[in-house]
Structure 1
Amino acid sequence: MPSSRHIVSDFIKRGYVQPAQINEALNCTQVSPTINSWFKFIDRLLLCLGALSLAFSVLFFIAYNWDDWGRFGKFALIESLLVATIFIYWLAKKDSLKAQISLLVSCLMVGVLMAFFGQTYQTGADPWTLFFFWAVLIIPWVVIARFAPLWLSWLGLLNVALSLYIDSFGLPLTLFLSADGNLWIALFFLNSIALTALELSSRRFIYLSPRWLARSIASLAGFMITFIAVDTIIDSHNTSLLPFLFWGVFIAALYVVYRHLRHDLFMLAGGCLSSIVVIITACIDNLNEDYIEGFFLLTSVLIIGLTSLATIWLKKVNKEMLS
């Protein structure tokens, strides 16, 4: 469904709104933020920054005074803040930003507590276990909070845990000749699964419906698969076709889902950008560099031509979405 901004913009372009009434139309449809909207935004921004500053200040305070404080004092400080954030959530209105931010800080304190415990008692655990069990332990907080940034942070922990695990042990099945290829393809699959689960559940759970959440995950997955495809083109020793298969399936899925099932111009633009990068890289890798003037000229023409075609197509799709 087109947003209010798109509808008003379309009306203005078609001349349905007179020039003298444009500002009034923007204010009535709340496309242009009002003074109260700005105050509300600043209030929320300061609340989020203050809460995050408090959480990180505890971490820095303990690190700075590591030799001066005993272990029980450090544990008491972290656990007191953890209990305080849960108590604030219990007192606050459950769907309010204050309650959601309190659980976000609580999740950060869980990670700080686990890191401090491992550093104090020298458990010898692998680094990936910290982030993995951190993500496991905060699942109840993430589910209860119903807060999109917390879900994205939880996915970030899984990405870090998977990266550290592969860096230490590799993958059971070798998909690529290099360890970096295994890492990137594993992270691509993780974020692609997360994106699929998000899109399937966003209509049922309203707190997962903000488009910036899906776009952030799709951008991360798209960057990874594009990087894999480009790296395979550049690496003359890697003759595997799997990267191009995964990349082609990803681009085709973006087109089918966000062109026909759920309209999202941002996703289609990301697919166009990925396609342009891969095509240009393939062309550059196969061009004869002996004729340097023609090499740069042909590359420039390809970039301009593909970008222009993508722009024309995206404008056409945007008009169809608005109609």
Structure 2
Amino acid sequence: MSQSNKTSDGKSSGQHIKNPTELLPYLISLWPQKSRTQIKNLLTNKQIVINGKTVTKHNAIVKPGDRVAIAAKQSQVSGADSELFTIVHEDNALIVINKQAGVLTIATEGEKTRTAYSALSRYVKQQHPSNKIFIVHRLDRDTSGLLVFAKKPEIQKSLQENWNEVIIRRTYLAIAEGVVKEREGQIRSWLHENRCMTLFSSQNPDGGKLAITNFKVVRRSAAYSMLEVDLLTGRKNQIRVHLKDLGHSIAGDRKYGAKTNPIGRMGLHASHLEFIHPITREHLKFKAPAPKKFLFLFCEGKH
């Protein structure tokens, strides 16, 4: 089977592989211009990627059809910017980050510099002064978790225009007030926006946008429920409105009916993201673990 991949320096590498083989000898045959030491360093520095996942073991098995590439060596996110997010994945086309709660995706009139966009812009310019970053989607200030940025405008356009087709999974963890009795379910309604820019839910489709949310209870305490929420549509404030409809507003979300704020922020976290890479067409999977404050609410004896 023929295999062709793009390395981080843009050069094309091709190699035929008919049977499973160990990674190190495969890499040596794939890139003969590199020394054995150089290739070992790539593994050590977490720059070898197989099917979109970083691999460090020399004896990992490469199978026919696997995509092998060299990921770009990452610069360090510097100073105060490192407190805003961590980089989960980076390649020549895009960056996936785990954003902290309290951080804006993009600047507002009141905050220009302490945003994910501004910090990532500074980060990519460390690699080259002409580098830029482009927003693909957003998370609310108080929502933590996985967020995607493009490195080129054509990548941004491709992802945004084909969002429903390329997104395979988009899952959030939500801390809902009260005990949600149903183990799982689906909420389906049309969302409308009033003059105060607040969304409300209706079964009347006229002028609204269809929103569909699946939920599953993963933890319960006497006062709260942790839900795993899957978006079948990606509407503004969709989860927040739908959990209000359910009668269990997201903790800390006063705008949509919350009466408590046990963790000092809104209890919403973008935990899982799967999508098709716009260039390589690889199926990428990312996970951002539940924040410790979420888990602490369900420690025995806390409620």
Give the TM interval when normalised to the shorter protein. under 0.3
**Which structure: greater helix fraction?**
1
Q: TM-score, normalised by structure 1?
A: 0.23
**Which structure: greater strand fraction?**
2
Higher relative contact order (CA 8 A, sep 6+): 2
